[in-house]
Amino acid sequence: MSNHIAFTLLICSLTAFLFSLSNATANDKFDFIIIGGGTAGLTIANRLTEHPHITVAVIEAGDKVFNNSNVTDTDKFTVALGTSIDWQYESTNQTYAAGQTVSCHAGKALGGTSTINGMTWVRGEKAQIDSWETIGNEGWSWDELLPYYKKSENFIVPSPAQVAAGASYNAVDHGEGGPLRTGYHPELLNGSLHGSVETAWKSLSIPSTIDANGGDVRGFTVEQQTLDPDANVREDAARAFYYPFQERTNLHIYLKTTVAKVIWTDNDGDAIADGVKVISSNGTVSTINAKREVILSAGSLRSPAILELSGIGNPNILDKFGIPSKIVLPGVGENLMDQPNNAIVYNSSTIFNGTTGYVTYATAADFHMEPPSDEDLPIWAEQVAAANNHAVNASSLEYIFKVQSQLLKSVTNAEVFLSTGKGIGLPPSGLLATAFWLLMPFSRGSVHINSLDPLAYPTINPNYFLVDYDLKTQAAITKWVREFWMTTPMSSLASEISPGYETLPANATDAQYIEWAKTSCKAANSTDLLSVSSNAHPLGTAAMMPRKLGGVVDNRLKVYGTANLRVVDASVIPFQISGHLTATIYAIAEKAADLIKADIK
Ligand SMILES: Cc1cc2nc3c(=O)[nH]c(=O)nc-3n(C[C@H](O)[C@H](O)[C@H](O)COP(=O)(O)OP(=O)(O)OC[C@H]3O[C@@H](n4cnc5c(N)ncnc54)[C@H](O)[C@@H]3O)c2cc1C
Ligand SMILES: *[C@@H]1O[C@H](CO)[C@@H](O)[C@H](O)[C@H]1NC(C)=O
Ligand SMILES: *[C@@H]1O[C@H](CO)[C@@H](O)[C@H](O)[C@H]1NC(C)=O
Ligand SMILES: *[C@@H]1O[C@H](CO)[C@@H](O)[C@H](O)[C@H]1NC(C)=O
Ligand SMILES: *[C@@H]1O[C@H](CO)[C@@H](O)[C@H](O)[C@H]1NC(C)=O
Ligand SMILES: *[C@@H]1O[C@H](CO)[C@@H](O)[C@H](O)[C@H]1NC(C)=O
Ligand SMILES: *[C@@H]1O[C@H](CO)[C@@H](O)[C@H](O)[C@H]1NC(C)=O
Ligand SMILES: *[C@@H]1O[C@H](CO)[C@@H](O)[C@H](O)[C@H]1NC(C)=O
Ligand SMILES: *[C@@H]1O[C@H](CO)[C@@H](O)[C@H](O)[C@H]1NC(C)=O
Ligand SMILES: *[C@@H]1O[C@H](CO)[C@@H](O)[C@H](O)[C@H]1NC(C)=O
Ligand SMILES: *[C@@H]1O[C@H](CO)[C@@H](O)[C@H](O)[C@H]1NC(C)=O
């Protein structure tokens, strides 16, 4: 070592020493740092801090919403959309959905998107979860996830009045010892509508389901929800996993603090996350260090952007912003799967003063749609690969599509959701809305940074209807939903007010249905009942898949090429699921907490 270098080192360490003296508060340091205090993030924080010697910091861009009635009120779903607790992301122009943009809502609050969502509580289908293992994620099957599905849950059995209004359940399908209350809405509609809807579906060969949470969702049922039926309050991730535990001194929450990126130790071999760079609400930039791990749980629309800003992703994208590629993972931000949502609205002379949440799941055969044909799969794989500049190539996609196509022989591919205005923020009326969406799109989109500014929003492109099978499916569902409304006794109960037979004739051709499905996805806003065009179930942007297929995390949810960075949120889910996402995200987070604990040496 030359004297010159030795001298420089001495000066450096002296400077560092003096700096640490003048800057009395050294960097905060915790065993684990969780980026995002949302649905998954707070679940993991809770489970890790069960151990009093483990310290955890959760860094959340939003604030507490404990007493915000837009959150707590179980009749106000959609009211919080577009307010300050919604990130209010917007998609790019949707080339295959008539060029329109769609609103992409996501919760910006302690509790994340669970504070603003529709509260529907439905797991995926058994075969869908099993497919995660099929593509190479050992340890991820329905049987292995089921204990975790139950672990988070505190299911409240329905009252006799709720049972009379259509509530039903199988006790074996539920957990009762977990922190998260689930159950039936306390103001279920208890008139004759339930029986009428059930009868009409039965005429279309759709059976009633006792409980949609047993791994087989096909049929008609009344939805279970994430709420406390006794207090009549929404149950979100913070209410279940944080507030009752906030006295834990080993759990520290940074609110109104945005993570800019992960910072790295300077080492050879697998990259070691040293901590995160954060920006406080007053603009101050600082560093928080992790002694063990960093866990990224910023949601599927944001986690990939944080990976890219940290140097993990596709070099073609990182290069554009001068970000050195720390780890080459072209699948980061790809594989975005969201479901497109259309709605048809009816009106009745009866005032419905109660919530319904009547949910129907159907297979392609149920709604008269051909299953995907094997010959089409390579063509679709080429289309999707071309759209993502071959970041995930056609041979990988063709393999994935084969698995998905196989799944679609048995699993459902449509959900129809029938609701009165009540429960979605509207006063009691004669309105009956049917929103519906295809469940397992072949189309894939992306989420990528478009700026070096960590506060800038990423570019979000769900690519709805890129694969025309998706559009044909959505059109077939539309036609079938109308068939439902034309079936006795629905036909004598209500009349269509939107789109109406003038816009879309009763005898419309398939081509007309296709055109309507494509164009009627209007930009979302909270006052427009027809608005929700994204079904708000984006996932897959940091997929748990083998690296060679375009995966980003392995079966322990660790980012490939890193020693101690995991992603745990909707981003890791490799295929769309028929249920709504939170049940599965809580289960993934529960399992992740066990994987992380098992790795503590
Ligand atoms: C309108 C709507 C309705 C829905 N309805 C239902 C439903 O009825 N049932 C259902 O099961 N699912 C529903 N979903 C989907 C479900 O709620 C979400 O998929 C789920 O909550 C996402 O969980 P997550 O942990 O992946 O992310 P989130 O819960 O979104 O958590 C991410 C957290 O990270 C924070 N964050 C992001 N970036 C940063 C950063 N840079 N620094 C610090 N913090 C950051 C966010 O503020 C947020 O708190 C709905 C979603 C929406 C938008
Ligand atoms: C919420 O409101 C209740 C009742 O008004 C009050 O007692 C409580 O302190 C509030 N909690 C918070 C976190 O603001
Ligand atoms: C609730 O939502 C409405 C808009 O829908 C908004 O005007 C109001 O400020 C919100 N309340 C809170 C406490 O954020
Ligand atoms: C998106 O569509 C709008 C309205 O049609 C148009 O003005 C805008 O130029 C489009 N943007 C891009 C990037 O194509
Ligand atoms: C109907 O619902 C209301 C509100 O949920 C409830 O109070 C009432 O007991 C119910 N009536 C019957 C007959 O179940
Ligand atoms: C900015 O906020 C941080 C975190 O709350 C605080 O530590 C810091 O003192 C604040 N700085 C200024 C200049 O207000
Ligand atoms: C719904 O029907 C009622 C009663 O028939 C009528 O008064 C009301 O105007 C209708 N509403 C709409 C939006 O058509
Ligand atoms: C609806 O029911 C609630 C009680 O659940 C009652 O307070 C309200 O007055 C009813 N509204 C109408 C329009 O009937
Ligand atoms: C649908 O019905 C209308 C009027 O009843 C008729 O004019 C039209 O030709 C029909 N269209 C098709 C596609 O059959
Ligand atoms: C929201 O929907 C309402 C009702 O359809 C409409 O009047 C309003 O213009 C819409 N706002 C936006 C921003 O699209
Ligand atoms: C597609 O990507 C995989 C994984 O990177 C690779 O093994 C395969 O050779 C690629 N195929 C083509 C046709 O480029």
Name the band, by pLDDT with cuts 50, 70 and 90, for residue 26: low
What percentage of the chain carries pLDDT values higher than 90? 89
Active site residues: 537, 580
Structure tokens at 426: 């509207």
What pLDDT score does 78 carry? Answer: 87
Name the band, by pLDDT with cuts 50, 70 and 90, for residue 4: very low
Mean pLDDT over 325-338 rounds to: 98
Structure tokens at 387: 């759209």
Report how far residue 258's alpha carbon sits from residue 454's, in angstroms, rounded to the nearest whole number.
Answer: 8
pTM score of the predicted model = 0.94
How far does residue 287's CA lie from ligand 6's centre (Å)?
13
Nearest CA to ligand 8 atom 7: 353
The tens digit of pLDDT for each residue in 91-137 reads 999 999 988 888 999 999 999 999 999 999 999 999 999 999 999 99
Q: How does the average pLDDT of the chain come out, rounded?
A: 93
Q: How many CB atoms lie within 10 A of CB 272?
A: 16
Nearest CA to ligand 11 atom 1: 393
| Helices (H), ranges, 171-234 | 193-203
Mean pLDDT over 534-561 rounds to: 97
Specify the ligand 2 atom closest to the Cα of 66.
13
What single DSSP character describes residue 433? E
CATH class of 69-243+335-521+535-599: alpha beta
> Looking at beta carbons, which pairs linking 190-196 to residues 24 or more positions away fall under 8 Å?
190/161, 190/164, 190/165, 190/354, 191/350, 191/352, 191/354, 193/350, 193/352, 193/356, 193/493, 194/165, 194/166, 194/222, 194/356, 194/358, 196/489, 196/490, 196/493
Cβ atoms of residues 321 and 449 within 8 Å: yes
How far does residue 67's CA lie from ligand 5's centre (Å)?
27
Site residues for ligand 10, CB cut-off 6 Å: 523, 525, 527-528
How far does residue 597's CA lie from ligand 3's centre (Å)?
40
Report how far residue 190's alpha carbon sits from residue 210's, in angstroms, rounded to the nearest whole number.
Answer: 17
Provide the β-strand partners of residue 225. 120, 183
Ligand 1 pocket check for 582: Cβ under 6 Å = yes
Q: Of 5-9, 201-205, 512-516, 593-597, which range is least confident?
A: 5-9
Provide the β-strand partners of residue 431. 347
Q: Of 208-217, 318-327, 525-534, 557-566, which range is least confident?
A: 525-534
Residue type, 443: S
Q: Is 532 annotated as a binding residue?
A: no
Q: Is 172 annotated as a binding residue?
A: no
**Is the pLDDT score of 323 beyond 60?**
yes
Mean pLDDT over 364-384 rounds to: 97
What pLDDT score does 406 carry? Answer: 97
Report how far residue 86's alpha carbon sits from residue 45's, in angstroms, rounded to the nearest whole number.
Answer: 22
The tens digit of pLDDT for each residue in 463-509 reads 999 999 999 999 999 999 999 999 999 999 999 998 899 989 999 99
Specify the ligand 8 atom closest to the Cα of 428.
13
Residue with tokens 């300077």: 266
Specify the ligand 5 atom closest to the Cα of 160.
14
Name the band, by pLDDT with cuts 50, 70 and 90, for residue 427: confident
Ligand 5 pocket, mutate which of 188, 190, 192, 230 (most atoms under 8 A from CB): 190
What kind and span of H or E run contains 30? strand 28-35
What kind and span of H or E run contains 401? helix 394-407
What pLDDT score does 25 carry? Answer: 52
What pLDDT score does 160 carry? Answer: 97
Name the band, by pLDDT with cuts 50, 70 and 90, for residue 27: confident
